[in-house]
Amino acid sequence: MADDPKGPIVDLMLLTGLLASGVRFAMPLLFAALGETVGQKSGVLNVGLEGIMLVGAFLAVAFSVATGSPWGGLLAAILGGAAMGLLHGLFAVRLKVDQIVSGLALILLGLGLSGFGYRLVFAGNQTVRVLGFERIDLGPLSDLPVLGPLLFSHHALAYLGLVMAVGLWWILTRTGLGLTIRAVGENPAAADSAGIDVDKVRMRCAAFGGAMAGIGGAYLSTAQLAGFVEDMVAGRGFIAIACVVFARWNPLGVLAVALIFGIADAGQIRLQPLFPQVPYQFFIILPYVLALVALAGAARSSSLPMALGQPYRKA
Amino acid sequence: MTPKFRLPALDRDSRLALMVLGVGALALLGLIALAGESPLRVLAILIGDGFLTRASLADALVRSIPLTLTGLGVALSFRAGVFNIGADGQLLIGAALAVACAPMLGPFPSGLSLPLLLLAGAVGGAVWGGIAGILKAQFGANEIIATIMLNYIAIQLVSWLIRGPLQEPMGIFPRSDKLASSLRLPVLFDGTRISAGLIVAALACVAVWFLVAHSRYGYALTVTGKNPDAARYGGIRPAVIAFSVLCLSGGLAGLAGIVEVSGLHGRLQEGFSGGIGITAIAVALLARLNPPWVPVAAFGFAGLYVGSDAVARITAVPFPLVHVIEGAIVLAFLVLQTLPRAHGR
């Protein structure tokens, strides 16, 4: 390679392409994980992200076709996701049932509702053209070598994801609202005696988490891919939860971890043709293996919200 | 002296719970109406074709075999507060290991080779569950995510195996060779597909019931699930419980996998686990994690699937409605659990 003057340039282009698609692959995880971070910070554990993302992915496709705009689809996904988050809140926060079991029910509901809706609306019609998100063209910036594809040629949603990661970090660590959310998740009894309506804060955080998972699903079906396939989320809802744990409930950390997963996912696809002698299945499992490693490496963290998963009952 | 019947005075939470139940039921009927069908007709087909004909009863029994075995495993792990939701992967790996071992079982007499085959399935599932167990016990990894990740890894491993080392000699279809007839669980009733797997499932029920109700280990499971701190104080090590119960739970799922292959499909192929693991969660919860009720709940959900197949075939209501119903059943179960508490039992 050293003799070939084009070598380094080709390598750089490969690397740029890898990182750029890594950013795109990271976004569904990022949105879902940011929402879950806020939910868990307030003490609500939602293991049903997978189901919510499925519903978001389906609604985004159905409503971008119906309204003729991906933004219409996004809005539907946000509303649908928030509704499912509220449903989880109704059971986990208001009725105070087992949060894990309620989350498991969301997975079943999401699987069922998205598959039901898909077969009903599209009736197996594979040729529906889905209006997806266009990449933003920032003119000369997008044409820059390396930096152009890496930073200035993504979907509008990707920039929203970056802004939300920074914004949520700021809100959670630097504002009164963030303090309220953390107080409710760390010590609900103290928050209650300080006059905070614990259940109300948790319900809102659960709805927010659901809406974010809905956006993650919408990104998957209308920006990363173009269309809905049953069970298309393929474990991303659970990887998103692993991101939250590995990032120790810090939104900026979530951004970094989601990017690592996105790059790993983009990388395994690019590695497949380079090693034709290795069965392709061994590349597909890479992100899942990475999630296992991340879980094993990051658990038992002191950043775990103290009252996570515990319903609050007034004394 | 006839006591006058009076509705118990309901507090705010119970009223909310009942309202949720009512709205949920209406929403389900609404979904059916959305598909342009009469909810009554769909319900009639669901029950009639799910439970009330000879053929559908037989079909439901066939489906309840793997659901019972995996449901028992899920119930065991949930009892210990360990959420094994990756029975699908354990089922696949169990079936794959057993099929891989099958050629080695040739020399054994047939009375021995079939039990060895089933054992290999259980071992495969136990290893797959045990990986999640080590990650949890040793590193504190969350078993919900770990077992699901292992599901996706198992699917890819089996996809490779049946296109590589375990593929049928013809090398055309992505599937394994047929098991030798000595390694097949016999059909119990002529004209049906009900295999001796039914007996395996029944034996497993008795064994798991004994384990839970009459062994020190079963007691340790329950104590750990109810109150880990008390368990620790009583000399039980929750990490050991978590690891062992994930092995056991995975072993039962692996057994279900090889019973499906040996009793029904005859070979390893893709997609035969399809969602058994997640339905097993609903089965275990509805049985209130009690082994004797697991086969009953499994049969109920098996009938629901058979009925839903008929509904999707005859009417315009798509099949995935069955998952919505499963989710609704789990939520309804959760709501009903809150009621006695609200009454100050």
Interacting residues of B234 by C-beta distance below 8 A, sequence separation 6+: B223
**Cβ-nearest to B16 among A94, A98, A107:** A94
Residue A62 CA to residue A82 CA, distance in Å, equals 17
Closest to A290 measured CA to CA, from A266, A309, A315: A266
Interface contact A230-B335, CB threshold 8 A: no
CB pairs under 8 A between A and B: 150
Q: How far is B145 from chain A (nearest CA, A)?
A: 6
* Residue numbers in A near B278 (CB within 8 A): 107-108, 111
Is it the case that residue B36 has pLDDT exceeding 90? no
**How far is the CA of A78 from the CAs of A82, A83, A177, A217, A218, in angstroms?**
6, 9, 22, 9, 8
Question: Which value does ipTM take for this structure?
Answer: 0.90
CA angle A145-A149-A154, nearest 5°? 155
Residues B128-138 pLDDT 10s: 999 999 999 99
pLDDT (0 to 100) of residue B343: 47
B169 half-sphere exposure, CB direction, 13 A CA radius: 3
| Whole-number Cα distances in Å, A55 to A81, B34, B281 | 7, 17, 21
- Give the sign of the dihedral formed by CA B216, CA B217, CA B221, CA B222: negative
Residues of A in contact with B151 (CB under 8 A): 235
Cβ contacts of B326 on chain A, cutoff 8 Å = 108, 112
pLDDT, averaged across chain B: 90
pLDDT, residue A125, reads 65
Residue B342: its pLDDT value, please?
Answer: 45
* B291-329 tens-digit pLDDT: 999 999 999 999 999 999 999 999 989 999 999 999 999
Is the CB of residue A47 less than 8 Å from the CB of residue A178? no
B60-78 residue pLDDT tens? 999 999 999 999 999 999 9
The pair of three-digit structure tokens given for residue A36, joined into one six-digit string = 């879950």
How many helices (H) and strands (E) in chain A? 14, 0
The residue behind tokens 């078993």 is B143
Name the DSSP letter for residue B61: H
CA nearest B147 in A: which residue?
A: A292
Nearest-10 Cα torsion for B186, B190, B195, B201:
-120
Q: Between A95, A113, A238, which is nearest B324 by CB? A: A113
Residues of chain A with pLDDT under 70: 1-10, 124-128, 299-302, 315
Contact B327 A105 (CB under 8 A): yes
C-alpha distances (whole Å) from B219 to each of A314, B126, B203, B213, B285 are: 32, 21, 21, 7, 19
Q: Buried b / exposed e across A81-102, counting CB within 10 Å, b at 16+?
A: bbbbbbbbbbbbbbbbbbbbbb
The amino acid at B44: A
Q: Does the distance separating the beta carbons of A112 and B327 come in below 8 Å?
A: yes
For residue A2, the model assigns a pLDDT of: 44
Report the alpha-carbon distance of residue B341 to residue B272 in Å, rounded. 41
CB–CB of A299 and B142 under 8 A? yes
- Give the closest residue to B46 by CA, choosing from B345, B313, B234, B329: B313
Distance separating the N- and C-terminal Cα atoms of chain B: 25
What is the reported pLDDT for A1?
Answer: 40
Inter-chain CB proximity B334 and A292 less than 8 Å = no
Q: How far is CA B57 from the centre of its chain?
A: 19
Q: How sure is the predictor about B345, in pLDDT bands with cuts at 50, 70 and 90?
A: very low
User: Which pLDDT band holds residue B1 (cuts at 50, 70, 90)?
Assistant: very low
DSSP secondary-structure letter at B4? P
A130 dihedral zone (left: phi>0; alpha: psi -120 to 50; beta): beta
Q: Which residue of B has its CA nearest to A102?
A: B331
Closest chain A residue to the Cα of B149, Cα to Cα:
A288
